[in-house]
Structure 1
Amino acid sequence: MKIRTITQVALMTAILIILGLIPGIPLGFIPVPIVLQNLGVMLAGALLGSKRGTLAVLMLLILVALGCPFLTGGRGGIAVFIGPSGGYLLSFLLCPLIMGQALKMFSNKKMFVDFIIIWIVGVVFVNICGALGLAFLGEMPLPKAFLSVLVFIPGDTIKSIAALFIFEKLRANTAFKSNI
């Protein structure tokens, strides 16, 4: 790996960790809080592309599995992967992989197309996986799980817009050109 690649992956992993330190907003009716960490996952896929973005998220998840309290609320350890957040954590790993490929294939340097890709993968896909995780790992009925994750859509949409603007601003930067 090149020094630039290692640095980008390490910095994105650090951003994911920092976003995990920001306290989540508990909702009460669902065991998963509103978090900012998924913004970092969207940025990983958009800025670093499939391989590097997925590697950055994988590094975070390995550290979490080893017990580091890097998820929102200071959570860590292998148990978080089989709890109500398990579907979200799996989607965090897949999100940069899918988003990076979709942006590479379909992005025509138009903000609207980039937004649709970031929103579908970073919001719709992540929340579908989250609902499935709530249903199977959190023992919530599937229809209730899908209804309950609808509360995340407005905030996640705002995060996807923020990811889009950061992505568009940094796309011209030569350090990121080769990734997307």
Structure 2
Amino acid sequence: MSAVRRPLSADLARIALFAALIIVLGTVMVPLPGGVPITGQTLGVMLAGLILGARRAPLAILIVLALAAVGLPVLAGGRGGLGAFVGPTAGYLLGWVVGAIVIGVIAHSGRFTWWRAGIATLVGGIAVVYLFGIPVQSWVTGVPLDLTAVSTLAFLPGDLIKVGAATALAVALRRAYPRAFPQRVVHVASAAS
């Protein structure tokens, strides 16, 4: 016997909701030299990983990226179109997908706690995103990798604030509405087996 699973329509609604949240957070933008702005979208990616988990969070991000690819202005600053996938931010966009998976895996690998959520968001939301973003930004802009990495330090304080905000919001939501998070399916062996 297994626990009752959430209906597919509920999952689809949650995925669409987080795609919309990521898009809306893209309107919060602080431009910086070098072509990569500080945006609220990474906060949305972090929240998606923490709340939707490793299986559903990347789907929300892929919806946003698909909408951008067809030209809708859903990325920070109202950007959209295939140019976003060959510009300096292309690696960060890919990093969102992988980062959300990493966040979900770490955050939900055991009991959901504030420290596990914080570590997950720090690793997936910053380290993984930077791991993909910095080399691509360096390659596209022609700036050496080490200089690009150093220039990225300008983003670190804002990203650390987003880690704290995402962690606090996810922990509060987990306490208030645990059904919003991935439900563990419990398999119980029947006595007749």
Q: Taking structure 1 as the reference length, what is the TM-score of the superposition? A: 0.92
1:40 aligns to 2:41 (yes or no): no
Structure 1 residues 51 and 145, CA gap change in structure 2 (3 angstroms): same
Partner deviation per Cα, 1:68-94 (whole Å, 9 max, x = no partner): 011111110011111100111110111
1:179 Cα shift?
4.7
Q: What's the counterpart of residue 96 of structure 1?
A: 100
Of 94-103 and 161-170, the range deviating more from structure 2: 94-103
1:5 to 6, 11, 18: 11
Check conservation: 1:130, 1:149, Cα contact below 8 A. Answer: no
1:54 aligns to 2:51 (yes or no): no
2:21 to 1, 15, 23: 15
Q: What's the counterpart of residue 190 of structure 2?
A: none
Identity level (%): 35
1:75 aligns to 2:88 (yes or no): no
Distance 2:95 2:167 in 1: 19
Of 122-131 and 149-158, the range deviating more from structure 2: 122-131
Q: What's the counterpart of residue 66 of structure 1?
A: 70
1:176 Cα shift?
2.0
Check conservation: 2:27, 2:78, Cα contact below 8 A. Answer: yes
1:25 aligns to 2:39 (yes or no): no
Tell me which amino acid in the other structure corresponds to 2:64. Answer: L
1:138 Cα shift?
2.5
* Structure 1 or 2: more helix by fraction: 1
1:164 Cα shift?
0.2
SS in structure 2 at match of 1:137: helix
Check conservation: 1:87, 1:131, Cα contact below 8 A. Answer: yes
1:139 Cα shift?
2.0
Structure 1 residues 84 and 177, CA gap change in structure 2 (3 angstroms): closer
| Aligned residue pairs, count | 177
1:123 Cα shift?
1.3
Check conservation: 2:102, 2:123, Cα contact below 8 A. Answer: no
Check conservation: 1:39, 1:163, Cα contact below 8 A. Answer: yes
Question: Please, which runs of 5 or more residues in structure 2 have no aligned partner?
Answer: 1-6, 185-193
Question: Please, which runs of 5 or more residues in structure 1 have no aligned partner?
Answer: none
Distance 2:44 2:144 in 1: 29
1:137 Cα shift?
2.3
Between Structure 1 and Structure 2, whose CA radius of gyration is higher? Answer: 2
